[in-house]
Structure 1
Amino acid sequence: MFSIFIFLQLIITVTSYIPLNRDEHVASYIDNKIFFLGGETDTQNLTKDFFFLDVSIPFNTSSLPMYDLNSITEIPFNRRASSVVCETVKDAIFVWGGDFGLNSSSPLIFAFNTTAKIWNAANDKGIKPPRRRFSSVVCDKNAKIYILDGTADQNIGNTSSPYGNELDVFDTSQLTWSLGSNLNAPVPHDIGTATLLPNGKIVYIGGSNAFGKYLELTQIFLYDTLKNTWANMNTTGASPTARGFHTAVLTRQGHIVVYGGENAPFIPAPDQLLDLDTNVQPFKWTIPSVGFTPNPAPFRGHTSTLVGNYMIVAFGWFNNGTGSSRSNKIIMLNVNDSNNYMWVSSFTPPSVLSATSQPAASKSPDSNTGSTNNTAVIIGIVGGVVGVIIISAVIFLYYRWYKNREDINVIPSDDAFKRSKEVI
């Protein structure tokens, strides 16, 4: 049993991944994983780092089940892009815009197939928008991606106006671009957030306009994807500090949790955690009171991803006491109770929470379900142990063979770096 433990520890040591300090990356939750892509590190302006956090198992923030994907797929160098997962497209992560280490004629949309583990570039058609960075992006139930705001310059192949407020729509099923309504749209801006509600309305919060003014959060804009119309709303409750570079997630209780943001360049907004209740009309802001804030806690350049009861905040810039530094840590907020948000260090997957919350079945005199389940568990444990022993033996024999073999020349296969030439 001790040898089995050592073997399992070796597996963890070999496969676990520690990311570099970074910001301006993207994060996408799909298939019980949060995939992280690109960003800027302390030594590289653009990266193609690609890795994931396994959220199918319990973990602690001090020891993350993080795994590297760079060895199995090629990806473009990038930062300041936007990524989105469409509910009805089961195995794809779409990445839009940003600063790419490619030429100006490069595709606007890339997608990663999580099943085939291949990157594809969209052979898109229609009214193509200019490439932009820091856009607000969501995908509706019809697999249409809505892209608002963002900035551009010649560095990313855009010679038009640096700011715009066009609403570009990309149909992932037809690979076709179109324009949404521009009537009563918010002013051109970037570094805001977009959150899709179950009723098909998109909530746009904050950002910074062309004059460097941070947008007030007491007025939010709503886009109805069903009617293709804009509306604005004056919120009630608290009056949060205007900001940009924040993140937002929608909880299962219908609350938008806003985290982070700055109200001057690299100056954190004083109220870093906000709650917007969308169950009331008009929407209502509150500033939650939490017992403590983890350290390091990023305020810009981070991502926030909702998984079950947890908002998982990853990487980004934080104040180190004398200035700002990038982080490679994550922090987590339990958002299950909108009246009692809590920063936590331990994560429990939604599947485990669902299993433990199921009521115990009443016993029946003629039922043998319990004994059957116990037998299955015993068989599973024995099978698992035997499997580990067999794998250990294979690895040991391979190691002996490898040590004793004569030197040979091996030509590496291109398959390890294969990139599909097919379109999405």
Structure 2
Amino acid sequence: MLRMNINNLIKIFFLLVILSIEIGQSLIPLDRYSTSSILIDKKLFFFGGETVHNLKPSTTLDQILYLDVSKPFNTVNPPFEELPNTIPFGSSYAIAFPSSQKNVIYLFGGITVNVNTDLDDFKSILHSYNLETNQWTIPTTSGIAPGRRREISGVINNNTGKFYAFGGLSDQFTGTPNNTIALNDMNIFDINTLAWSKGSTINAPLPRADYTATLLSNGIIVFIGGRETNAFRDVDINQLALYDTKVDKWSLMTARGVTMENRFLHSAVLTPDERIIIFGGRKVPNDDPVLNQLAVLNTKMTPYEWSIPQVPAIDNMPLTTSAHSATLVGNYMFINFGQITPITNPQIQLPFFYILDIRNFTWIIQFEPEKSTIDTTSVNKSPSNSTSNSPDLPVEKSDNGKQIGIILGTVGLSIGIGIVVGFLGYKYYKKQKYKHAIPTAGSPTI
């Protein structure tokens, strides 16, 4: 009788564990745009963002989400998880990049506000986050740190340890009303020495924001699109601004091939064969969608050449989005969150999730990690079992010892089940909170 009870308890325990895993993978995030994303050790992190559906007074989020990309999943129900510790402020339009220390991420620039008052109470341009301790700090740096700015793009050279961020928008509090101006300075941060410096301004592009920046293997940063001259007109996307990090020099190149539509708030990733894939964005001045949301820039040709890949028109073809994040995970381009264009569209701003296989330019919904991207340390390995599978042999232990063992095992399983039930209740509460947080109408605006 006791043995049957223990067997039943074991079955219930494992059933609850499976349910807890399923519930843990069913987190439905709030819609958001202008998040900061970074891939660290097989986990794709998302910091902050903007939403009109925030549960706090501010539209700027202080939430940290992540995806484990070492495991397969479906984009219909991606396994988003939330870190328990939030950002100490609401953050959006910022850049996340790695530091020289293991498991430490920098967050540069962007909007920083108090989520409870929506006031700008934070003045530092740079913050760091330790993934192991969940601690946020303001690094002590040398040199002249840049002023506050947002709607920027940055790159880091892993060989030199230097981070580059150009231009952006700066809110100049000079009276009433506030003036927003575009910038065109190159700011360089050395993650090894924590020192700030400036790049050359000779032949630098006009002030701009909402562009993309991509670092090639030869040390050249390619700037594509955006808005310029105080952000009131779009940049000619066929005129590429190039910055050579090796010699601190600016140049301009006219791309050949397909004549592209200008755009801003788009995204870009670099493929292993040095192609730049851009996606989405919208046009000045009416936030109209672009005709060709997916395009490829071949940087192995001189001048660089634009082309439009042939993509199968299937049901999971993405809507035109802007202010989203894009990350290359192996041979897959992850496109997360953002706004549909035009932003006045009444459709709910869902947490859009699209994956592009860059090998054949096919949109997929089922993600299968490549063998080279799987962390083998996460594979479950059972300890060696010294007990053979021989038939049961007589045991010299007394019935009292057997009963004590059964009682202890039952108590242990009961405690384990209690813990899992408590965990399930907590996850269910969070799941319901997020579901209720998404209304049935309305869309965010910038």
Task: Please say whether Structure 1 and Structure 2 have the same fold, judged by a TM-score greater than 0.5.
Answer: yes
Following the alignment from structure 2 to structure 1, what is the Cα–Cα distance between the partners of residues 344 and 179? Answer: 39
The aligned runs of 1:75-86 (5 Å cut-off) are 75-85=88-98
Aligned-pair CA distance for 1:279: 1.6
Which among 326, 333, 336 is matched to residue 356 of structure 2?
333
Which among 31, 36, 41 is matched to residue 46 of structure 2?
36
**Counterpart amino acid of residue 186 in structure 1:** P
CA 1:315/1:156 → structure 2, altered by over 3 Å: closer, same or farther?
farther
Which among 114, 118, 121 is matched to residue 135 of structure 2?
118
The aligned runs of 1:170-185 (5 Å cut-off) are 170-185=189-204
Q: What corresponds to 1:269 in structure 2?
A: 290
Q: Tell me, yes or no, if the aligned pair for 2:289 and 2:342 is still in contact at 8 Å.
A: no
Say if 2:375 is the partner of 1:351: no
CA 1:172/1:271 → structure 2, altered by over 3 Å: closer, same or farther?
same
Following the alignment from structure 1 to structure 2, what is the Cα–Cα distance between the partners of residues 190 and 317? Answer: 18
Alignment TM-score, normalising by the size of structure 2: 0.75
**Counterpart amino acid of residue 352 in structure 2:** K
Aligned-pair CA distance for 1:347: 1.1
Say if 2:110 is the partner of 1:98: yes
The aligned runs of 1:103-182 (5 Å cut-off) are 103=120, 106-141=123-158, 142-154=160-172, 162-182=181-201
Q: Percent identity?
A: 31
Secondary structure of the 2:200 match is coil
Q: Tell me, yes or no, if the aligned pair for 2:202 and 2:250 is still in contact at 8 Å.
A: yes
Post-superposition Cα deviations, 1:248-306, rounded to whole Å, max 9, x if no partner, equal 00011211100001123321111100001112222111011211263653421111011
Query: What's the C-alpha RMSD, in Å, of the aligned pairs?
Result: 3.3
The aligned runs of 1:357-368 (5 Å cut-off) are none
Aligned-pair CA distance for 1:19: 0.8
Secondary structure of the 2:169 match is coil
Aligned-pair CA distance for 1:398: 5.1
Q: What corresponds to 1:418 in structure 2?
A: none
Aligned-pair CA distance for 1:5: 3.9
Q: What corresponds to 1:13 in structure 2?
A: 23
Following the alignment from structure 1 to structure 2, what is the Cα–Cα distance between the partners of residues 377 and 170? Answer: 42
Count of aligned pairs between the two proteins: 373
Alignment TM-score, normalising by the size of structure 1: 0.79
Q: Tell me, yes or no, if the aligned pair for 2:237 and 2:260 is still in contact at 8 Å.
A: yes
Post-superposition Cα deviations, 1:139-193, rounded to whole Å, max 9, x if no partner, equal 1122211110111114699x88711100011112222211011111111110000
Q: Tell me, yes or no, if the aligned pair for 1:296 and 1:327 is still in contact at 8 Å.
A: no
Post-superposition Cα deviations, 1:171-230, rounded to whole Å, max 9, x if no partner, equal 122222110111111111100000111121111111111262211221111111111111
Following the alignment from structure 2 to structure 1, what is the Cα–Cα distance between the partners of residues 414 and 136? Answer: 36
The aligned runs of 1:171-320 (5 Å cut-off) are 171-210=190-229, 212-264=232-284, 265-292=286-313, 294=316, 297-319=319-341
Following the alignment from structure 1 to structure 2, what is the Cα–Cα distance between the partners of residues 156 and 308? Answer: 47
Aligned-pair CA distance for 1:382: 12
CA 1:395/1:14 → structure 2, altered by over 3 Å: closer, same or farther?
farther
**Counterpart amino acid of residue 205 in structure 2:** P
Which aligned runs of 4 or more in structure 1 are off by greater than 6 angstroms?
380-383, 399-402
CA 1:63/1:155 → structure 2, altered by over 3 Å: closer, same or farther?
farther
Aligned-pair CA distance for 1:245: 0.7
Which among 50, 53, 57 is matched to residue 71 of structure 2?
57
Secondary structure of the 1:135 match is coil
Following the alignment from structure 1 to structure 2, what is the Cα–Cα distance between the partners of residues 247 and 380? Answer: 49
CA 1:89/1:350 → structure 2, altered by over 3 Å: closer, same or farther?
farther
Following the alignment from structure 2 to structure 1, what is the Cα–Cα distance between the partners of residues 166 and 238? Answer: 20
CA 1:59/1:125 → structure 2, altered by over 3 Å: closer, same or farther?
same
Following the alignment from structure 1 to structure 2, what is the Cα–Cα distance between the partners of residues 354 and 129? Answer: 39
Following the alignment from structure 1 to structure 2, what is the Cα–Cα distance between the partners of residues 7 and 302? Answer: 34
**Counterpart amino acid of residue 323 in structure 1:** N
Q: Tell me, yes or no, if the aligned pair for 2:289 and 2:320 is still in contact at 8 Å.
A: no
Secondary structure of the 1:289 match is coil
Post-superposition Cα deviations, 1:401-420, rounded to whole Å, max 9, x if no partner, equal 99xxxxxxxxxxxxxxxxxx
Following the alignment from structure 1 to structure 2, what is the Cα–Cα distance between the partners of residues 156 and 392? Answer: 65
**Structure 2: runs of 5+ lacking an equivalent:** 1-9, 115-119, 388-409, 424-446
Deviates more, 1:303-312 or 1:276-285: 276-285
Q: Tell me, yes or no, if the aligned pair for 1:191 and 1:207 is still in contact at 8 Å.
A: yes
